[in-house]
Chains A and B, each alone.
Chain A
Amino acid sequence: MAAPLTLVLVLAVTIRAVLFRSSLAELISERVEVVSPLNAWKRVVEGLALLDLGVSPYSGDVFHETPLIIYLFHFVVDYAEIVFMIADGITAVCLYLAVQNYNKNVFRKQKYALEADRYPHDCLELMRSPREMHYIPLKVAMFYLLNPFTILSCVAKSTCGLNNAVIALFILSTLKGSALLSAIFLALATYQSIYPLTLFAPALLFLLQRLYIPVNLCRSSFWFFTLQYAFMFVGSLVVIVCLSFFLLGSWDFIPSVYGFILSVPDLTPNIGLFWYFFAEMFEHFRFFFICVFQINIFFYTIPLSIKLKEHPVFLIFMQIAIISIFKSYPTVGDIALYMAFLPAWSHLYRFLRNIFLVSCVLLACSALFPVLWHLWIYAGSANSNFYYAITLLFNVGQILLVSDYFYAYLRREHHLSQGLYLRRKDGSEATLVLK
């Protein structure tokens, strides 16, 4: 499978290179849907220029990247385009390998379950065969690389591509079973933006599952491993934060990066939900609603982990989707990461209920974003409500997409345990309804 992957990589690099050389690159790097104050390339250049003038880049509201990004770009700022293309390539290859590994595991488990005769007899059409699963990793890589969102994000040189690369490396290392690497990459991802902290739970669940440690709160082995993993994660996070202190010799980066992400002072419109709310919020209630919005992201971890205890990889997908929808400064690059996983769940297609509606909504909103922005900012005949309506609709579409896949996954699991054709107690046909 290396050859088709290489072909896809070459194609992706060509498209990005062509776009980099065209005049569209300038246009795209100014779009608010693609860059946010957290990951705009303009701000990285500004921060590096401030550093060359002897001023801390965190003074003022310009630069909100972490010091490790300063270190990276200090040396490669002239080759930024290549760096971002490499980051996209790394993400795609990591996702490819991760999904390949995951598919092997899934197939292996299915084989054991079939041999142990644990599935009801009418579920055989729900079984997955290696032939259908053969092309899924390639499709995942393709979905990531050739997704217009990813291409836009790469051409705009938004550091979201680097975030995605770190998260993809984290997923790969988790799926390979290496607890140390997984903790380190998770610490890096959390260090970049705080929200990947929620991926701690699915990673832990996956590693426990892999080591055959049952998730039972009374058992000491569970706590032992959890503490080990938590220690590795917290330890690497502390080490990375202290190392960043030594780069510039000050703790300025903590309020500039984490304070900025958590307290959302910059209300530039983007495709997220925060800006409109906080533009019209009274100061008195601002803190309360900041807490509500931020807790919203972290809140879904516990119920979802309880429900998806046995399926940590799907939980990772759900968590990434929730982070992309509800984070304080989302961009289309974040969306591209979870959309790359969709081919891995292509067997759920028969249970998806709203897929047509959702895809129409997402396509239409993506097309309407620039239109309504132009009408609002340049033509002056619309106002922020129009743009926010499209933002809301886009996020509703995403939530519908994620919840649809969740429903389909759970439904398939239910069928696998209860049988495909459900019968009520009196023998008549029953349907499964989501209440």
Chain B
Amino acid sequence: SYLFIYLFYYITTKATQFFNSGHTNNWAVLVCTSRFWFNYRHVANVLSVYRSVKRLGIPDSHIVLMLADDMACNHRNPKPATVFSHKNMELNVYGDDVEVDYRGYEVTVENFLRVLTGRLPPSTPRSKRLLSDDRSNILIYLTGHGGNGFLKFQDSEEISNVELADAFEQMWQKRRYNELLFIIDTCQGASMYERFYSPNIMALASSQVGEDSLSHQPDLAIGVHLMDRYTFYLLEFLEDIHPASQANMNDLFKVCPKSQCVSTPGHRTDLFLRDPRSVLITDFFGSVRKVEITREAVNLTSAAEQPVEATKEPKSEPLSYVDQLPVAEIIHQKPKQKDWHPPDGFILGLWTLILLVFFKTYGIKHLKHIF
């Protein structure tokens, strides 16, 4: 009987772990709110988060990417069709498969709020909608210029923290999210999450009220600052995350301490029901499915025997998700810059021929005059 109690306990903990997070799909809303060439870094910020999110498994159909300006094809870009996030151009975050949903002047406060609340005209295409449900974990990332209580859009309008909090409440009441992770990288970013009052929201910001978020490195060839500090270190942190990673939110809170960021990043977890320590990064940044690979056939026909079989299953090889994933292939997915080199056989053949002709024409005996 002790064995039975132990088994039962084991099963339930396994089951609770299995159904722990409560979400079945992931969405991401990534917004860059500033235009003009000197705000290159905001576009690079968003594109690096986009890249990480896509790499970890969220498909483009579940990402709403809003870029207020086109840096890759800007006339002032000396390396057209690229947006770099590292100095020395190590990482081009504008690869060949970036799908921008809202671009240029379509990035407005109204459109952003409509995307969040779902109140879009019927003619809006699916790629521009946030079709989340009550089992969706949504990542919302905002970057641009901001101040105490507001975020500037397109240099002409602003969204206030009250509006944002009300939009999230609308989303909660319409059951449009299961859990929400809100990240903002602007000056005085912490002011934007002060007014939230809906449950299940976790928020991170790059700087406190009264502090400025600073940019990271300028690139002398491109001529502008490439990234903001907080997002730069966030990207560095995320590059080490792979779909089977067990890193949790506490690690995310530690990204970019004051020594690196100059500003003090802040976070808010009081509205969140779960303990941040048990929340995986991939719950928001990746699109991790709960899959267990089995090599045995599962008998679904005899319903009466199922509870007996359910107790027997965990006995044979409980495989966790981590073990089933080829981790080494997914980690550090930086695109490799392939350079073409002529094949060695070609070089060998060509120079052999040239030497042969040379010796045929001038004779071997002339060699002694050369050497």
Contact = CB atoms under 8 A, between A and B. Distances in A.
Contact of B345 (A52, A70, A239, A246): A246
A53 B338 CA distance: 7
Contact of A247 (B343, B353, B360, B361): B343
Interface in B311-360: 338-343, 345-347, 349-350, 353, 357, 360
Given A180-B357, A180-B360, A51 B350 contact: no
A178 B350 CA distance: 21
A178 B361 contact: yes
B339 A52 contact: yes
Interface in A48-63: 51-54
Nearest to B354: A184
A178 B342 CA distance: 31
A165 B286 CA distance: 59
Nearest to A242: B349
A243 to B, nearest CB: 6
B340 A51 contact: yes
Interface string A40-82: 0000000000011110000000000000101100100000000
Nearest to A51: B340
A181 interface: yes
A173 B340 CA distance: 35
A239 B353 contact: yes
Nearest to B339: A52
Nearest to B358: A181
The secondary structure that dominates the A interface is helix
Contacts of A380: none
A71 B354 CA distance: 14
Interface in A184-243: 184, 239, 243
Nearest to A49: B340
Contacts of A130: none
B335 to A, nearest CB: 11
A246 B344 CA distance: 10
Given A178-B361, A181-B357, A181-B361, A54 B346 contact: no
Contacts of A54: 338, 340
B240 to A, nearest CB: 27
A53 B95 CA distance: 12
B343 A243 contact: no
A71 B340 contact: no
A427 interface: no
Interface residues of B, number: 15
B348 to A, nearest CB: 10
A243 B353 contact: yes
B349 A180 contact: no
Interface of A: 51-54, 68, 70-71, 74, 178, 180-181, 184, 239, 243, 246-247, 249
15 contacts: A51-B340, A52-B339, A54-B338, A54-B340, A71-B342, A71-B346, A74-B341, A180-B361, A181-B357, A239-B353, A243-B346, A243-B349, A246-B343, A247-B342, A247-B346
Given A51-B340, A180-B361, 14 more contacts: A54-B338, A68-B350, A70-B342, A71-B350, A74-B341, A74-B342, A180-B360, A181-B357, A184-B357, A239-B353, A243-B346, A243-B349, A243-B353, A246-B349
Contacts, number: 36
A74 B340 contact: yes
Nearest to A48: B340
B81 to A, nearest CB: 11
- The list of the 7 closest CB pairs from A to B, nearest first, reads A51-B340, A246-B346, A247-B346, A71-B342, A52-B340, A243-B349, A54-B338
Nearest to A50: B340
Contacts of A246: 343, 345-346, 349
B95 to A, nearest CB: 12
Given A178-B361, A180-B361, A243 B350 contact: yes
Contacts of A180: 357, 360-361
Contacts of B347: 71
B82 to A, nearest CB: 12
A239 B354 CA distance: 12
Contacts of A71: 342, 346-347, 350
A47 B162 CA distance: 54
Contacts of A181: 357, 361
Interface in B99-142: none
A249 B343 contact: yes
A99 B361 CA distance: 21
Most buried by A among B342, B345, B353, B357: B342
Contacts of B340: 51-52, 54, 74
Contacts of B357: 180-181, 184
Interface string B130-165: 000000000000000000000000000000000000
A93 to B, nearest CB: 18
Nearest to B347: A71
Interface string B53-66: 00000000000000
Nearest to B96: A53
Contacts of A52: 338-340
A58 to B, nearest CB: 13
Nearest to B349: A243
Nearest to A178: B361
Contacts of A178: 361
Most buried by A among B338, B340, B347: B340
A181 B360 CA distance: 9
Contacts of A247: 342-343, 346
A54 B338 CA distance: 7
Contacts of A68: 350
Contacts of B342: 70-71, 74, 247
A249 B342 CA distance: 10
A246 B338 CA distance: 20
Contacts of B361: 178, 180-181
Nearest to B345: A246
A68 B343 CA distance: 13
A97 to B, nearest CB: 15
Contacts of B339: 52
A52 B339 CA distance: 5
Nearest to A173: B361
B370 to A, nearest CB: 18
B130 to A, nearest CB: 34
B55 to A, nearest CB: 20
A360 to B, nearest CB: 44
Most buried by A among B346, B347, B360: B346
A247 to B, nearest CB: 5
A375 to B, nearest CB: 28
A180 B362 CA distance: 11
Nearest to A245: B346
Contacts of A53: 338
Contacts of A184: 357
Most buried by B among A53, A184, A246: A246
A242 to B, nearest CB: 9
Interface string B8-33: 00000000000000000000000000
